[in-house]
């Protein structure tokens, strides 16, 4: 049976700052999704949050970019925003860039990943959702899951995986993509995806039969709106087992708390911390960037689950290391490389600062000429 899992997310406002979604806004979204399920638009759904992002997980048989499914998500975000405004939650409706819905959600603010597949007899999937980072943050774990035999034993052991995978990489600045084959082209692949702000792994396919293995959201809000309007906090869906990464191989890719951009004011690098749903709130310095993982089975377009995948002491050391890296990075204060490079900072006073100081910048030769009058003996404290 052909079915689709659509994960659509938006920040529609949060409690006490950009840190956690309020349960009443989730209840409002729930009413909309329950009604859509009653009408048969979607077959199943699950609502959660990571930090300030409201995450709608919906299953149906209507394919990608379906008007009715997207309209349902839009209505859910709108209803949640109403509650957000009533409660005076912070940044109510932040990610909804348009007033009216037209056709689908592309370019309208919400981020989305849609997995459109012919279901296998058992279809296990994992959905990863992160806050305080951007879509390219999934490049490193996707590479590990689908191309690195030190992470994924199946690449060596499972004959279907042994042929390798194809990576569809999107240049988010130019809006064009390229397919690169692993293992033959891994150096070229790494050459691109090592620049995650620009090159994002959008989809991975299994080479043996072209089966879709993963889908990432690719929306970068600041590129859509042309200015900072909020975070591009990403989602990722991965198909598991039987020729795809085993659940444990997919999770293993997150055992190292690598650095991602997007922390505090969208302008700092920090370690990604995999947590349970319970701990999915952004606190210290608005972070550190959080990741949750939910495991489901899809059957006849219905969802069984979830299992809260990082709610596990096996990830305690990863979290502890992330906390140590948090301390280490924070001690750099406003200095790079904790702070992002100016072009990637979400919003910044740097251009105005440079403009303001422009008249006070002097050429080196003029400084030399002016020296006697500028640096008087008095200034040097020699009087």
Q: What is the CA radius of gyration of the chain?
A: 23
- CB under 6 A: which stretch of 121-129, 204-212, 251-259, 260-268 binds ligand F6R? 260-268
Q: Does 134 bind ligand F6R (CB under 6 A)?
A: no
Residue 17, contacted partner among ligand F6R, Mg ion, none, CB below 5-8 A by kind: ligand F6R
User: Residue 359 carries which DSSP code?
Assistant: G
- Which of 82, 116, 228, 258 is labelled catalytic? 228
C-alpha span between 236 and 259 (Å, rounded): 18
The angle, 0 to 180 degrees and rounded to 10, between the axes of the packed helices 186-193 and 139-147 is 170
Which residue in the set 9, 12, 52, 62 belongs to the binding site for ligand F6R (CB under 6 A)?
52
Residue 264, contacted partner among Mg ion, ligand F6R, none, CB below 5-8 A by kind: ligand F6R
Q: Segment 300-359, which members bind ligand F6R (CB under 6 A)? A: none
Annotation marks residue 207 as catalytic = no
Residue 53, contacted partner among Mg ion, ligand F6R, none, CB below 5-8 A by kind: Mg ion
Which residue in the set 18, 22, 319, 338 belongs to the binding site for ligand F6R (CB under 6 A)?
18
Residue ranges binding Mg ion (CB under 5 A): 11, 18, 51-53, 131, 231, 233
- CB under 6 A: which stretch of 120-128, 169-177, 259-267, 309-317 binds ligand F6R? 259-267
Annotation marks residue 228 as catalytic = yes
Annotation marks residue 199 as catalytic = no
- CB under 6 A: which stretch of 109-117, 262-270, 314-322, 354-362 binds ligand F6R? 262-270
Q: Does 219 bind ligand F6R (CB under 6 A)?
A: no
Residue 71, contacted partner among Mg ion, ligand F6R, none, CB below 5-8 A by kind: none
Q: Does 252 bind ligand F6R (CB under 6 A)?
A: no
- Which of 11, 52, 131, 286 is labelled catalytic? 11
Q: Does 286 bind ligand F6R (CB under 6 A)?
A: yes
Q: Does 265 bind ligand F6R (CB under 6 A)?
A: yes
Among residues 51 and 245, whose Cβ is nearest to Mg ion? 51
C-alpha span between 75 and 170 (Å, rounded): 29
Q: Which residues bind ligand F6R (CB under 6 A)?
A: 17-18, 52, 91, 132, 231, 264-266, 286
Active site residues: 11, 228, 231
């Amino acid at each position: 049976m052909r079915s689709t899992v659509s994960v659509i997310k938006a920040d529609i406002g949060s409690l006490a700052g950009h840190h956690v979604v309020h349960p009443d806004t989730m209840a409002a979204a729930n009413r909309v999704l329950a009604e859509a399920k009653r009408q048969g638009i979607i077959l199943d759904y699950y609502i959660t949050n990571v930090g300030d992002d409201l995450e709608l997980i919906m299953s149906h048989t209507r394919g990608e970019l379906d008007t009715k499914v997207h309209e349902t998500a839009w209505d859910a975000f709108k209803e949640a925003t109403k509650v957000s405004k009533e409660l005076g939650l912070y940044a109510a409706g932040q990610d909804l860039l348009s007033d009216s819905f037209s056709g689908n959600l592309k370019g309208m603010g919400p981020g989305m990943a849609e997995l459109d597949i012919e279901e296998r007899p058992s279809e296990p999937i994992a959905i990863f959702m992160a806050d305080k980072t951007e879509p390219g943050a999934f490049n490193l774990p996707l590479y590990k899951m689908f191309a690195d035999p030190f992470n994924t034993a199946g690449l060596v052991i499972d004959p279907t995986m042994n042929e390798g995978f194809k990576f569809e990489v999107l240049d988010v600045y130019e809006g064009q993509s390229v397919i690169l084959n692993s293992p033959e082209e891994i150096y070229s692949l790494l050459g691109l995806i090592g620049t995650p702000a620009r090159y994002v792994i959008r989809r991975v396919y299994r080479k043996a039969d072209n089966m879709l293995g993963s889908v990432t959201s690719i929306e970068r809000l600041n590129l859509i709106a042309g200015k900072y309007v909020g975070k591009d906090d990403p989602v990722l869906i991965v198909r598991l087992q039987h020729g795809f990464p085993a659940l444990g191989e997919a999770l293993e890719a997150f055992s190292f708390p690598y650095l991602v951009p997007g922390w505090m004011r969208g302008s700092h690098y920090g370690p990604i911390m995999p947590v349970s749903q319970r701990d999915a709130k952004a606190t210290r310095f608005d972070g550190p960037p959080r990741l949750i993982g939910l495991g489901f089975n899809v059957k006849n377009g219905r969802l069984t689950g979830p299992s809260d995948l990082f709610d596990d002491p096996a990830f305690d050391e990863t979290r502890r290391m992330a906390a140590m890296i948090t301390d280490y990075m924070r001690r750099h204060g406003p200095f790079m490389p904790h702070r992002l490079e100016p072009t990637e900072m979400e919003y910044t006073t740097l251009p105005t600062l440079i403009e303001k100081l422009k008249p006070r910048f002097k050429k080196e030769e003029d400084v030399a000429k002016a020296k006697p009058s500028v640096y008087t003996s008095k200034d040097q404290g020699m009087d």
